[in-house]
Amino acid sequence: MIQVTRKDSKESLENLLRRFNRKVQQSGVLANVKQGQFFEKPISKRERRVKAIIRQERKANKIKRAKLGQR
């Protein structure tokens, strides 16, 4: 948990908020939350490789059709 207190009674709210945002950014809390937002099941290295090959083939096929003027 990140806590930020005023340095003195004259510190403005903007400065306090800026320091808080900087601490949150440096701690990496937001990055961890965003990373875990969409859970993906862990897949094996082989499955990941096969999916990558299929993606490459589809992309190559799409570019080839575009060059030929097909849809």
**Which H or E run contains 25?**
helix 13-27
Are 34 and 45 in a shared domain?
no
Q: Are residues 45 and 12 located together in one domain of the fold? A: no
Residues 52 and 62 both lie in one domain: yes
pLDDT value at residue 3:
85
Q: Quick one: three-class SS letters along 32-54?
A: HHHHCCCCCCCCCHHHHHHHHHH
8 and 29 co-located in one domain: yes
Kindly report the pTM of this predicted structure.
0.48
- Share the mean pLDDT of the chain: 90
Nearest alpha-carbon partner for 2 in 17, 13, 11:
17
Give the domain range for residue 12: 1-39
Q: What is the DSSP letter of 6?
A: -
Tokens of 36: 């875990």
pLDDT more than 70, % of the chain: 100
Tell me what pLDDT residue 67 has: 94
